[in-house]
Structure 1
Amino acid sequence: MIDEHATPDLLELAARYGVSREFVDWRGRLTTVSASTLIAVLRALDVDASTPDAIRSALGDTELAPWRRPLPASIVQRAGDTPWIFVHLPHGAQFRAWAVLEDGSTRDIPQIDNWIDPREVDGVLTGRATIVVPADMPRGWHELFVAITDDGATERIARCPLITVPERLNTAAANDETKRFGIMAQSYQLRSNTSWGIGDTRDLGALASWGARQGASFVLVNPLHAPAPVEPIEPSPYLPTSRRFRDPLVLHLDVIPAVQLLEGPDAERFATLSRRATALNATPTIDRDVVWRAKREGLELLFDYDLKDPVRKRAFGMFCEREGQELVDFATYCALAEEFGADWRAWPQALHDVSGQAVSEFRDTRADRVEFWRWVQWLTEEQLLEVQRSACEAGMSLGIMHDLAVGVHPYGADSWAMPEALARGVSVGAPPDMFNQLGQNWSQPPWRPDRLAELGYKPYRDMLRAALRCGGALRIDHILGLFRLWWIPEGQTPDAGCYVRYDVEAMLGILALEAERAGALVVGEDMGVVPPETRDTLAHFNIDGTSVLWFERGMSDEPLAPEHYRAHALASVTTHDLPPTAGYLKLDHVRLRHELGLLEVALEDEIQRERATIEEVLDTLRARGALASAASSVEEHTLALHRYLASSSARLMGVSLADLAGDTRSVNQPGTHREYPNWCVPLGNGSGERVTLEQVIASEWAVTLLEASRR
C-alpha cells in the first residue's frame, strides 16, 4: 500500500476521474483531502489505486480508454453548437456516419479533415477520424451510428446516444419575470378531518385551492418519492427507495372510484379502516407504519373492483405500457420486499440480480402482487395529476412545485434495479458547515458519472420525467450535486470525504431539455458550501436559485437589502432544515442542537452569536421602516420579515405552512437520525397543540401572513 502522502501520480489519476484533492470549506479555508480518501473513492469507481504500480497501470488505461471504442459513451450537444466527435477504427479503414433522430428520420454526419497520428492500441494500429454534428440538430434524444469497413470486410456498426439539449431552459414559466409567492408545505403534515392519519392528495388539493384564493401561485411540497412498502416505513422523504416512482401514502382512498363498488363485508371492512385511520389524526406524532397498514389493506380491497371497469383498466394498461420494464422491476421489488424485507442484501443470493432467472420466476409466481403494485403507482400518479389540474383551475400559475431528493436508500428499489448506475462503498453527504459542524452523511449511494454516460443518461432522464410529470415546477434539493457530490468512503466520518465532479453540461442540459418539454420552471437549492461559479452557471441555464433571509449577506457581511436579492431565486424566511420563523426567533434551534450534541462551541456562546445575527436583521428592518421600533412580539417580527422579503427582487417567494400555523418546532434536525422525530412532527401551533388543515385555512393569522407576503 502507498502511504498517506498523495503522490503526483495518484493526484493525476484522481483528477482524470473527477475526484478532487482539495476544496474550500465553509470558513473559506483551502482543505486538502487525504490519500486514503482518494484511494477509497477511486475504488468505488472500480479503479485500483492501492499501489504505485496499480496507479501507473490505471493512468495508462485512462489514456487508451477512448481509443478502445469507436464512439464516445454518450454525446451531449448544446443546441447551436457543432461538437467534433472522434471515431476510432483500424488504421486505413473506411466508415460512414449518420444520426437517427428521435422522430425516426435520419441525418448524415459529415467527416472533416483533422489529421491525428494513429497509435497502437492493444496490438492494433488504430486511427482517429473526426466528424462534426450539425448545428441545426433538433432538441431531443437521438442516436449516432458509424459503419466501419476494414479491408472489404462486412460493415461493423457502432452506436451511441446523441442528446441535443437547449442552451438554456426556455418555457413560459421559466421566463415569467412576474413576482409571485407560494406556500411551502410538508405534505404529511396536512392532516385534515378526512385524512387517514397523514396528509394526502385531497388535503394538498384543498391547500392549493385555498392558497390560490389568497393569491398564491404555487405549493412547494416535500419529495413524494416512493419509500419501501414494508415496515418500518422510512420517515424521511429525502431517503426514498426510488426517485423514479411515487409514495402511495399520499393516496386519498375515499375518492378512488372503486369505493362505490364495494359490497357486503368488503364495504364494511373499508368503512372500519377509514374510521380507525381517521382517528390517527389526533396522534402526537405521525406514525407511517400504522397509516400504511390501513391504506395497504384498503387498497387491496379496492384492487379487483377498480379494474373491473373497462375504461379504467384500459387507462391502467396505457400507463403500464408507457412506464415499461422499469415499472415492472419496481413492482417486482415491492413484491419481493413483502416476502423478504426492504433490504435486498438479505434476500436469497439468486434474487440479487434484477434480470436473473430467479427474479423472473418469482415475478411469474407472484404476478398478482406485481400487478397490484403497478396499479398502486397508477393510482398515485392519477391523483397527483388531478391535484395539479385543480390547482391550476383554482388560479395558480405554477400549481404544485415538486421536490427532487438528492439520492435513494442504499439497499432499496433503485439500487437493486440499476446497480450499474450507482457507486458502491461510498455514500453522499456534506462537509462540515455552520449549521452541521460535524458534517453530514445522508446514507445514499451517488450516481457514477462514468456509468451515467455509458447508460446514455437514461436513468437520470427517466427520474426527471417522473418528477416533472405531475407539477408545474421542480425544486432540486442540493443542486450542487449536478456539479459535484461529497463522497464519503464506507466506515468514515463525514469530514473524511471528497468531492467528485459530474459533467455539468450534460446534467443541466438534460434537466433543461426535460423541463422544457414539461413546460416547467426549475429551482435549485444552492445553499451551503457552493462555489461562486455554480450560481453563474445556474443563471446561464435559466434555473432559479434559493435564498434564505437569514443567510443572505451583502458585500460588507451586512443583511442583504431586498433590492439586492437575486432576481432568479426562490426566497424564503425559513426552510425545512430550520425551525419555523417563530422557533428561530426564540432560538429553539440552538437549544435543540445543544441538547443533541451537535454544537462545537458552548451553548451560551452560540446563543449570543445567533441572537446577534437575528438582532442585526431586525435592526435592518427598523432602519428601513419595515419594523416599528416598539414592535417586540414574535408575531410582529414574523410579519415584518415576510413583508421585507416580499419587497425583494427575488421573483419567487415561499411562505412556510408551519409559519401559517404558528408552529415553532423543527420538522427535521440535520445531523440526527433517531435522536429527534425527524419528518414525523405534525402541524401544531405555538403551544404545540395539534392543528388541522381546516384550522389553518380558517385562521385569521394565516390570511394575515399571506397578505404580508403578497408581491
Structure 2
Amino acid sequence: MTERVLQKLVEMRGIETHYVDAWGNPATIAESSKTKLLNVLGYNTEDEAVISEQIEEEMHSIWLSPLNPVQVIRQNEAIILFIRLPISVVNDSYTLAVEMEDGERHHQIFTPVEGELINVAHVDDEEFHEYAVELTHHFPLGYHTVSLIQENNDSPLASMRLIVAPKACFTPKPIEDGKKIWGLSVQLYCLRSENNWGIGDFSDLTKLIKEAADHGADFVGLNPIHALYPSNPDACSPYGPSSRRWLNFLYLDVSAIDGYDSERVQKIVNAAGFKERLQHVRSVDYVDYQSVADLKLEALKAVFEEYYSRHLSKNTKQNKAFKAFVEEGGESLDMLAVYDAMQAHLKESGHAYWGWPVFPDEYKEYHKPAVAKFRKAHLKDVKFYLFLQWQAALQLEKASKVADDSGMLIGLYRDLAVGVSEGSAEIWGNKDLYCVDASVGAPPDILGPLGQNWGLPPMDPIKLYEQQYQPIIDLFSSNMASSGALRIDHVMALLRLWWVVKGDNAKDGGYVYYPVDDLLGILALESHRNQSLVIGEDLGTVPDEIRTKLAENGVYSYRVFFFEQAEDGGFFSPSHYPVQSMSTLTTHDMPTLIGYWHCLDLELGKELGLYPTQEILQKLYQDRHDNKQAILDSLHGHNSIDASVGRDVNFTGMTEALNFGIQVHMAKGSSALLSLQLEDWLQMDKPVNIPGTFKEYPNWRRKLTQTVEDIFDNTSIQSLAANLTQARKQAED
C-alpha cells in the first residue's frame, strides 16, 4: 500500500521512473532514489498516513485557488481558463478582467455554471466545481494579468498571469532564407591583449569582434559571463555562478571608465608595486584570479570614488542613468549588490564568507531584517557593486553595438549556464525556489562514464510555477541583452534535470520533469522581444521528445563533429547535419583538435586518475585510434584535405593542413551556423576544462597563446578565414 501511495506522489512531482541512457539502453531509477528525491522536495515519506495527508493537502490547496498562478498559450490559440469555485456560488455572475501589458483593459462577464464542467471534488465537506471558460478576445504577445471578480465585489477573488507566446523562437530573415554563417567561440577570460589586466575584458572583446567581422565572421560566441564572487575570485567556473542575471565585474576594462584619468586613480595605477603586480598577471599563462581581482578592485574603488564625486552625488545625467539602471534591475540587482558587499565585509572581518551557508544566522537570507539594517549601514559599499554592474552592462552593450555596426548578422552570442552554485546570491535571494539538498548533474554518458554532479542546486518546478515563471523570464531576458543569440547550456533542463541528492553518487540520481511547453513558450516570447536566435546544447542523454520539441520551437540544435557518427563508426558528412543547427568541432569540455589527435586528453586523464581501470583507458585509446582513421577516410573522401595529409592514422599527426582542413570541411556543411574555437585557430594543445576535476587541473584559467592584436596578422589565419567564408557561401547553393 505504501509503495502505491508513494508512486502517486512520485508521479505528481514529475519524478521519472524509466529512461533511455546515452547508449540507447533502457534504465530504471532505484526506489531509494525516488524516496530521497521526494525528501529533498520537502515530503515526509516514512509513514503512509503522512504521505496521504500531504497529497490531500496539495490537492486541497489547488481546489481552494480559483485560478492557476500562470498559463502559457501560443499566439492564435484558444485561451481556456480553469476556474474552481464552491458549488454554492457557481450560479453567480463574474467578470474576467484582463489587463494587458500596455495597460489596456478587457472585461468578460460570465456565469461559471454555463461553462464546461471538467472536474468535481470535495474539500472539507464542501463540493467544488472546476469549469473551463474560454476568453472571447484574442490578446497580443506578452505578459498579461487576469483577475476574477465576483459581482458586487470590487476586490478580485484571484489573479493570474497570462503569457501569450509566439509559435517558435526568432530566426533572422537571412538565415531563414538559407544564408550560412560562421563565427568564433571564445572564453572571454582567455583573451590576451597589450592592455588588459591579466584577463580578457570587454574592450578586448570589442577588438576581437571588429577583427572577426572584418575577416568574414558573423558572430562571436562567449562562455557564460555571469556574475561570480568578487570576494572569492578563485571560485572561477563560469558554469557555477553567483547570479545568472548579472555580469562578472572582472570583465570590466577599468581604464575605459570615466574617472580613471583622475589624479587619485593614476597615483594608484602608476605606483611601482601596482605596475609590478600588473606585469605579473599579464605575463602568466593561466589567469591568476585572486591577483587580478585585487588589482581591479583596488583601482575600481578609486574610480568609483571619483565618479561618485563627479556625478553620483549631484543631479547629473549620469546619476539619472545610474538610478534608472538600478530601478530597472529591481530586487534582483539590489540582492546581488548587498550580497557582494556583505561577503566583502565578512571577509575583512575575519569571518567565514565563501557563501551564504556559512554567513551568520541573521544574514543567511536576503529578506531578513538584519540584512536590511546591514544594507542601510553599508549603503555606499552596496552602491559600489551596483556601479560595477552598471558599467559592465554599458561596456557589454558597447561591444554589441560594434558587432552591429560591423555588419555581423548575429553579433554576440551569449551562453546561459544550467544553474548557480550552492553559496550563490541567486539562492540567497530566493530560498523557496531552490532545493539545496540536491544538485544538478548527469547520469553516466560518453563524456562522463561515472555520471556527473555539478554542485548546482535545482529549481523546484512547482515553486517556479507558483512564482509565475518570473525567475525564468528574468533569466532569458537578461541573457539575451546586448546579443543576437543565446546558447542554452544543457538545454534538456527545459524538459528534465538529473537530480543527485547530497552525499549520493551521481549515478544514483533521478530525473525530475519541468513544464517544458510553458518554458519553451516563454523562451520563444523573449527570443522575439530581443530578436535573439536560440541554440540549445543538446549533448549527452537526450530523449527524442526534447529534440522534437526544440526543433518545432525554432531552437537550433548543437552538433559536435566528433559525436556525429554512424553505427559503423564512420563520421557523418557535415552536409547531412540539420539545417536548424549550429555545428562545431569541439567544446569547452573537450580537448582541442591537437589534444584530441595526439590523445593528450587521455594522457592527462590517466595522470589525474579519471579512469577507474586500465582496461577502460585502453578501450578509449583504441576507440580514438579507430575514430581518427575514420576521420581521415571521411576528409579524403570529401576532398577536404590534399595529398600532403596522410591517409594512414599510424603515420599522420596533426598538422596545420589537417587542422584547417577539418575546419573548412565543417564549413561546407548544411548547418546554418558554424562555430569554431580560437584555440584551434592558434593550434593550442591544452584544454580549457577537464570534466570531473576540481583542483587537479587549472580549469577555466588557461589563456590564449597570442594577443588579440596579433591573431589576425597571421597570414595562415587570414587564409583560413577567407576559405571558411567561401565554403559557407558554397554551402548555400
Shorter-chain TM-score: what band?
Answer: over 0.9
Partner of 2:683: 662
Partner of 2:98: 99
TM-fit CA distance, 1:630 = 4.3
Cα distance in structure 1, aligned partners of 2:138 and 2:156: 28
Cα distance in structure 1, aligned partners of 2:379 and 2:406: 41
TM-fit CA distance, 1:62 = 4.7
The partner residue of 1:673 within 689, 694, 700 is 694
With 122-131 and 431-440 compared, the bigger mean Cα shift is at: 122-131
Partner of 2:509: 497
Task: Find the residue that maps to 2:88 and give its secondary structure.
Answer: coil
Matched-pair contact (CA < 8 Å) for 2:170–2:532? no
Cα distance in structure 1, aligned partners of 2:446 and 2:416: 24
With 459-468 and 489-498 compared, the bigger mean Cα shift is at: 459-468
Matched-pair contact (CA < 8 Å) for 1:277–1:294? yes
Partner of 1:133: 135
Matched-pair contact (CA < 8 Å) for 1:37–1:497? yes
> Residues 424, 560 of structure 1: CA spacing in aligned structure 2 closer, same or farther, 3 A cutoff?
same
Alignment of 1:518-597 (within 5 A): 518-554=530-566, 558-597=570-609
Matched-pair contact (CA < 8 Å) for 1:39–1:50? no
Letter of the 1:8 counterpart: R
Q: Deviations over 1:492-551 (max 9, x none)?
A: 011010111111111111111111101111111011110122121111111101001111
Letter of the 2:622 counterpart: Q
Matched-pair contact (CA < 8 Å) for 1:165–1:513? yes
> Residues 574, 114 of structure 1: CA spacing in aligned structure 2 closer, same or farther, 3 A cutoff?
same
Identity of aligned residues (%): 31
TM-fit CA distance, 1:135 = 6.6
Task: Find the residue that maps to 2:697 and give its secondary structure.
Answer: coil
Task: Find the residue that maps to 2:439 and give its secondary structure.
Answer: strand
Partner of 1:267: 266
Letter of the 1:339 counterpart: H
Cα distance in structure 2, aligned partners of 1:178 and 1:109: 46
Matched-pair contact (CA < 8 Å) for 1:89–1:148? no
Normalised TM-score (structure 1): 0.94
With 229-238 and 130-139 compared, the bigger mean Cα shift is at: 130-139
With 592-601 and 238-247 compared, the bigger mean Cα shift is at: 592-601
Letter of the 1:436 counterpart: G
- In the alignment, structure 1 residue 702 sits paired with structure 2 residue 717: yes
Task: Find the residue that maps to 1:295 and give its secondary structure.
Answer: helix
Letter of the 1:625 counterpart: N
> Residues 117, 610 of structure 1: CA spacing in aligned structure 2 closer, same or farther, 3 A cutoff?
closer
Letter of the 2:607 counterpart: E
Partner of 1:204: 205
- In the alignment, structure 1 residue 195 sits paired with structure 2 residue 196: yes
Q: Deviations over 1:2-60 (max 9, x none)?
A: 7xxxx333223211211101211112221111122111111222222233333333343
The partner residue of 2:318 within 309, 312, 323 is 312
Which 5+ residue runs of structure 2 have no aligned equivalent? 347-352, 646-651, 729-733
Which 5+ residue runs of structure 1 have no aligned equivalent? 685-690
Cα distance in structure 2, aligned partners of 1:102 and 1:524: 29
Matched-pair contact (CA < 8 Å) for 1:11–1:21? no
Task: Find the residue that maps to 2:128 and give its secondary structure.
Answer: strand
Letter of the 2:17 counterpart: R
> Residues 232, 171 of structure 1: CA spacing in aligned structure 2 closer, same or farther, 3 A cutoff?
closer
Matched-pair contact (CA < 8 Å) for 1:331–1:374? yes
TM-fit CA distance, 1:608 = 1.2
Cα distance in structure 2, aligned partners of 1:132 and 1:497: 41
Partner of 2:15: 19
Partner of 1:688: none
Task: Find the residue that maps to 1:87 and give its secondary structure.
Answer: strand
Partner of 2:627: 613
> Residues 43, 370 of structure 1: CA spacing in aligned structure 2 closer, same or farther, 3 A cutoff?
same
Partner of 2:349: none
Letter of the 1:317 counterpart: K
Task: Find the residue that maps to 2:103 and give its secondary structure.
Answer: coil
Matched-pair contact (CA < 8 Å) for 2:356–2:365? no
Moved over 4 A (4+): 109-112, 152-156
> Residues 629, 53 of structure 1: CA spacing in aligned structure 2 closer, same or farther, 3 A cutoff?
farther
Q: Deviations over 1:193-213 (max 9, x none)?
A: 101000001111111111001
Cα distance in structure 2, aligned partners of 1:288 and 1:79: 47
The partner residue of 2:462 within 450, 455, 460 is 450
Partner of 1:432: 444
Q: Deviations over 1:439-475 (max 9, x none)?
A: 1111001111111111111111112111111211111
Partner of 2:187: 186
Partner of 2:731: none
Matched-pair contact (CA < 8 Å) for 1:579–1:589? yes
Partner of 1:119: 121
Cα distance in structure 1, aligned partners of 2:107 and 2:189: 53
TM-fit CA distance, 1:298 = 0.7
Letter of the 1:316 counterpart: F
Task: Find the residue that maps to 1:443 and give its secondary structure.
Answer: strand
TM-fit CA distance, 1:564 = 0.9
Alignment of 1:278-297 (within 5 A): 278-297=279-298
Matched-pair contact (CA < 8 Å) for 1:183–1:655? yes
Partner of 1:642: 663
Partner of 1:687: none
TM-fit CA distance, 1:491 = 0.5
> Residues 226, 320 of structure 1: CA spacing in aligned structure 2 closer, same or farther, 3 A cutoff?
same
- In the alignment, structure 1 residue 481 sits paired with structure 2 residue 499: no
Cα distance in structure 2, aligned partners of 1:705 and 1:134: 58
- In the alignment, structure 1 residue 465 sits paired with structure 2 residue 451: no
